[in-house]
Structure 1
Amino acid sequence: MTVLEVDNLVKSFEDRGVVRRGSSARSVAVDDVSFTVGAGESLGIVGESGSGKTTIARMLVGLELQDSGTIAVNGRTLVRSQSSRARLRRAKDVQLVFQDPYSTLDPRLTPLECVEASLKVAQRGTGHDRRARAKELLAQVGLGSREAGLRPRHLSGGQRQRVAIARALAADPAVLVMDEPVAALDVSIQAQILQLLDDIRRESGTAYVFISHDLAVVRQITDRALVMQRGRVVEADETAKLLENPQHPYTRLLLASVPSPSWNPAEVSRLRAEMMSDMRDAEGIRT
């Protein structure tokens, strides 16, 4: 069952200070991107900085509005609006977990108060019910009563990210979008958070859109993956197939650029040259 359907998404931004033929120039950040995600499925979006993946995340949750194209959840097209009503409706369908949980948590609220506030915004239950549900959600992400009563400054990075995940789950979203959710964490904590996310997905059937530059993380947490370059999807396949047998020069370059004991800078340079020479001829998306 398809939960999220994205069709022909386009987003451009004004190039400040650059004028062409009397009007401000624009840079295309996302160029005709389409994909679907099924119930309980995890889709990875990978690419280097500036490839457009974070812009897609922001459009999915309504922080940016697309120039054209549609986003639908469970067959219902999301309204292209940033009105309070439209944003609240979208928040019940799609939630976002950011890379830096500390900057997105209210420093005045304890985790329990934070999750309760999200339940209230999502109009989930009464005051007593919200308190009980908040405790359940925090327990689900591995936070007990002690951590639930601490301010964010007293929590570790991993604990803060657990709070952010519980807050996102409070809305009971159909789609959970994660933008580099473990990039700021130690490797050992990354593994714990990734396992937690995988467990939640399998238990709840929530659809994931997982954005990362870390191919090892994408391999671990996603079923399918898209590779983005300069705003376009250049390759897509099941994650294992895509990473083991990449077809597009850019995908091969991304894989060759990952440091390893056998890492070869000369091979990276060769692939980059190949990519640049083939860029104009490389077509679309592998299916």
Structure 2
Amino acid sequence: MMEKSAKIYVAGHRGMVGSAICRELERQGYYNIITRTHKELDLKRQDAVEEFFNTEKPEYVFLAAAKVGGIVANESALADFMFDNMMLEMNVIHSAWKNGCKKLEFLGSSCIYPRMAPQPMTESCLLTGELEKTNEAYALAKISGLKYCEFLNRQYGTDYISVMPTNLYGPNDNYHPTHSHVLPALIRRFHEAKIEEKASVTCWGDGSPLREFLYVDDLANLCVFLMNNYSGNETVNAGTGKELTIKDLTKLVAKVIGYNGKIEWDTSKPNGTPRKLLDVSKATALGWTFKTELEDGIRLSYQDFLNNPMRAER
């Protein structure tokens, strides 16, 4: 268990996940949290990361820093996504090990699992099939980070763990018109349609794909829980175990935002993977379950969108 006074480094504290972990740590009474902005510490620079760890000597590390983006960004900058993510995670994990860090938690992504993995996806299906081509570079980098943690455990007896979240949403999300994920994109689109009094909103595909969504503060709660209660080489899935169609999701977002126009579907556009659901029985067996139901989470996210005009603009 982490002492309340333990020195905890949260890498990527300005991102959606990192900021949620900082909020959760503070909520639970941890007060010795250290952070660095990208300007203060470029995690891709090995010398800078080594110097930081050598000076600060954090006891615990939450590695939530990553270069992320949607399908368009992933496909157009494959090499950048692979290089940036490989460099920053290897530098942090390696420096943590060299400086005697007690425990490190690596944050991955469910895109590490095979494209055609049996549903719901268990932790053991890792590396049993081909990856989704659109984010292969990102997935390979994340798998490497996860495996490096496992190999350090096996070779040097470290206690480094990893967690793999499903689709996340919540405070500090990215609401960019083209670079955001499905839920924040829908929040923005329905909000604008309501303001502009549009008669209808057109969404991609036919609305049939099934997706799972986890509120980011619930993930942060699991991250701290695992740091205190889990050790092992295999990753832990983070999700709700519940899924809904994109069609039902759009209706829910429209309801929360108060948009009463028509929702139409452009079936000439792709649907994406038919189903992506994580098996969360491992986290459940450890004693953790999610708290925030989807409609409540969307309401909280919409408030975040409205309260942060700068984020809504980008």
Greater RCO structure (CA 8 Å; 6+ sep): 1
Q: Same fold (TM over 0.5)?
A: no
TM-score of Structure 1 vs Structure 2, range by shorter chain: 0.3 to 0.5
Q: Hey, which of these two has a bigger chunk of helix by percent?
A: 2
TM-score by length of 1: 0.34
TM-score by length of 2: 0.32
